[in-house]
Amino acid sequence: MTMETTTLSGLELLHNAAHNKGTAFNDQERKNKKLEGLLPPSVESLDLQVQRVLNHLDSKKDDLERYIYLIGLEERNEVVFYKTVMSDPMRFIPILYDPIVADACLEFGHIYRRPRGMYITRHMKGRMAEVLKNWPVKDVRFICVSTGGRILGLGDIGANGMGIPIGKLQLYTACAAVPPDCLLPVLFDIGTTNEKLRNDPLYLGTREAPVSEEELNELTEEFVQAVQTVFPGCCIHFEDWKGTDAIRYLDRYKDKVLCYNDDIQGTASVALAGVFSAMNITGGDLKEQRILFYGAGSAGIGIGKLICSELRDLGLSEEEARSRVAYMDINGLIETSRDDLSPEQQKFALNAEPTRDLVKVINDFKPTILFGVSTSAGAFTQAVVEKMSEINERPIIFALSNPTSKVECTAEQAYTWSKGKALFAAGVQFPEFEMNGKTFLPGQANNFYIYPAIGLATYAARPLLLDDECFIVAAHATANQVTADMQKKGMLYPSQHNILETEITTAVKIAEYMFDNGLAQAERPENIRSWIEEKLYNPQY
């Protein structure tokens, strides 16, 4: 926003992150905006301001301190923050999001500085729309909302989970240049099961146990309808709700309002992109794959359902598609004799003997692809990887649990135990690994390849709804950007160095699908890419 569009002046202007230019205000602006004497006399360029930030970051002792500094920077000067982050996304994405955001969430109440976003509590029942109107921006296009009920692999951390909506929306801008002023992070505080947090004097949330399912249904319905009233056309991005809640509310609202669940659909899409990339490397046919999931929560079920959707598109029946997919959870193989399965899990139950032995399941089911979505650290043992390598020339292994402390196996373990045969990706970024003179580049199957592009396409095309096909299109578009040179190194995802270009290319494909299938409300332009590029946020004064 330019100086001509704001009436702020003096300290009020300097304290407004969206308009503040700090030492970059020129002499005339300082006179016009009553800033004379409030700033050091030197007028600096944006590049020089960024250099000072980089110097500060280099002096910090660890990435959590860098995270705290960057959050403070965003609260002071939005342009400098995004100019810094977008200058080197490969460096800053891991600091602003996974894995450092996990540490930040654990310490959220202790490192808290200033309020960000909105906190909607159970005690606002009956007046949520009134409360949402307190947000100063009226054209909100995206709300990322979390209950904090299932944060990464950390479990229920209640209001400490606010770090996730904040971080997710920062990546809308940092990765896909969605304008930041249309983004609103929300913590939907329904209480927490985490007694340690409730007893922490610095905990910032309500100190109550979670509401019943019936009351949560009522609260969520009010919130969803309040968003429709206060911010018409806003997309609700559900993030890190407890697994059963996540599935229930996605099923309830996806065909009624503009919304999606990143843990289910975004995770499924980025996983499917990795599968497509692997097929490009091996020359395999998706219809011939057998996929085993270790973990049967919302993420794993979401991936399986999207894979089945793609298999149906390829001509398989629903029964044939599901026969290609199997699940294990903490209680063993998902099979028909079990009486503890959710309705979604029951759809994938195998007619097989009960077992908790992952190696035995691999030997019997003979998967070509193994997904870890369990948050069970070390679950992919040497015996597991060796068995996958025994039955597959190029075993495809995705260890998606995060943070790093929860991963099923490391890149080094996957490559070493498979003797270099594995195609591997994790939910966190592992460093490159050298073995027998060959360099392996493990992929990061992180949703930031998908949801910012979904966001950019949605921001531009203004769809009425988002269907599953949007996420399949995103998966294909992402996989198709893995070049032949990348494939030779075992890479399953594009480089993060040019993440903005990657996201734009993916967003263009999604927007094309939206226009082709009557989802978009915007008028179709002659050149979709140029049209989208004109809407990108550019961190400049």
Q: What is the pLDDT of residues 81-134, one digit of tens each?
A: 999 999 999 899 989 988 899 889 999 999 998 889 999 999 999 999 999 999
Question: What is the reported pLDDT for 403?
Answer: 79
SS3 letters across 255-267: CCCCEEEHHHHHH
DSSP string, 101-164: HHHHHHTHHHH--S--SEEEEGGGTT-HHHHHTTSS-S---EEEEE-SSS-TTS---GGGGGHH
- Dig out the tokens for 349 from the structure: 């139950």
Instruction: Classify residue 249 by burial, with Cβ atoms within 10 Å: 0-12, 13-18, 19+.
Output: buried
Question: What is the reported pLDDT for 151?
Answer: 77
Q: Which residue has 């559900």 as its token pair?
A: 238
Angle ∠(164,165,168) on CA atoms, nearest 5: 80
Q: Tell me yes or no: is domain 114-261 CATH 3.40.50.10380.
A: yes
Whether the pLDDT of residue 378 is over 70: the answer is yes
Q: Which residue has 């009624």 as its token pair?
A: 256
Question: What is the reported pLDDT for 393?
Answer: 96
The topology (CATH level 3) of 266-445 is: Rossmann fold (3.40.50)
> Coil, helix or strand for 277?
helix
- In 3D space, the residue among 5, 48, 41 whose CA is nearest the CA of residue 26 turns out to be 41
The 8-class DSSP code of residue 430 comes to: P
pLDDT tier, 4 (very low <50, low <70, confident <90, very high otherwise): low
Whether the pLDDT of residue 203 is over 70: the answer is yes
Q: What is the pLDDT of residues 426-464, one digit of tens each?
A: 998 899 999 999 999 998 999 999 999 999 999 999 999
Question: What is the reported pLDDT for 435?
Answer: 93
The phi and psi torsions of 145 (rounded to 5 degrees) equal -125, 130
Task: Determine contact, residues 27/43, Cβ cutoff 8 Å.
Answer: yes
Question: What is the reported pLDDT for 293?
Answer: 98
Amino acid at 181: D
Q: What is the pLDDT of residues 168-186, one digit of tens each?
A: 999 999 999 999 999 999 9
Question: What average pLDDT score do residues 199-206 get?
Answer: 95
Instruction: Count how many Cα atoms sit within 13 Å of the Cα of residue 268 in the half-sphere of its side chain.
Output: 27
Annotated binding site for (S)-malate: 150, 402, 446
Question: What is the reported pLDDT for 271?
Answer: 96
Question: What average pLDDT score do residues 523-530 get?
Answer: 98
Whether the pLDDT of residue 336 is over 80: the answer is yes
> Coil, helix or strand for 235?
strand
451 carries an active-site annotation:
no
| Cα–Cα distance, 331 to 340 (Å, whole number) | 9
CA distances from 13 to 30, 39, 41, 147, 476 (A): 11, 12, 17, 33, 45
Question: What average pLDDT score do residues 127-154 get?
Answer: 93
Question: What is the reported pLDDT for 99?
Answer: 82
What is the average pLDDT value for the chain, to the nearest integer? 95
The topology (CATH level 3) of 10-96 is: Hemocyanin, N-terminal domain (1.20.1370)
168 carries an active-site annotation:
yes
Question: What is the reported pLDDT for 534?
Answer: 98
pLDDT tier, 1 (very low <50, low <70, confident <90, very high otherwise): very low
| Cα–Cα distance, 239 to 260 (Å, whole number) | 9
Whether the pLDDT of residue 153 is over 80: the answer is no
Question: What average pLDDT score do residues 377-406 get?
Answer: 95
- Catalytic one of 97, 119, 449, 451: 97
DSSP string, 199-232: T-TT--S--SPPPPHHHHHHHHHHHHHHHHHHST
Annotated binding site for a divalent metal cation: 239-240, 263
- Catalytic one of 21, 33, 83, 168: 168
| Cα–Cα distance, 487 to 493 (Å, whole number) | 9
The phi and psi torsions of 242 (rounded to 5 degrees) equal -55, 140
Share of the chain above pLDDT 70, in %: 99
| Cα–Cα distance, 181 to 245 (Å, whole number) | 29
- In 3D space, the residue among 251, 475, 461 whose CA is nearest the CA of residue 342 turns out to be 251
pLDDT tier, 402 (very low <50, low <70, confident <90, very high otherwise): confident
Instruction: Count how many Cα atoms sit within 13 Å of the Cα of residue 421 in the half-sphere of its side chain.
Output: 16
| Cα–Cα distance, 351 to 332 (Å, whole number) | 14
User: What stretch(es) of the chain map to CATH 1.20.1370.30?
Assistant: 10-96
pTM of the model: 0.92
Whether the pLDDT of residue 490 is over 90: the answer is no
- Dig out the tokens for 210 from the structure: 């979670």
Annotated binding site: 150, 239-240, 263, 402, 446
- Dig out the tokens for 129 from the structure: 């729309």
pLDDT tier, 191 (very low <50, low <70, confident <90, very high otherwise): very high
pLDDT tier, 150 (very low <50, low <70, confident <90, very high otherwise): confident
Residue 107: which residues within 8 A CB-CB, separation 6 or more? 64
Question: What average pLDDT score do residues 195-213 get?
Answer: 95
User: What stretch(es) of the chain map to CATH 3.40.50.10380?
Assistant: 114-261, 449-534
Task: Determine contact, residues 204/112, Cβ cutoff 8 Å.
Answer: yes
Q: What is the pLDDT of residues 258-298, one digit of tens each?
A: 999 999 999 999 999 999 999 999 999 999 999 999 999 98
- Dig out the tokens for 73 from the structure: 């920077």
Question: What is the reported pLDDT for 140?
Answer: 98
Q: Tell me yes or no: is domain 449-534 CATH 3.40.50.10380.
A: yes
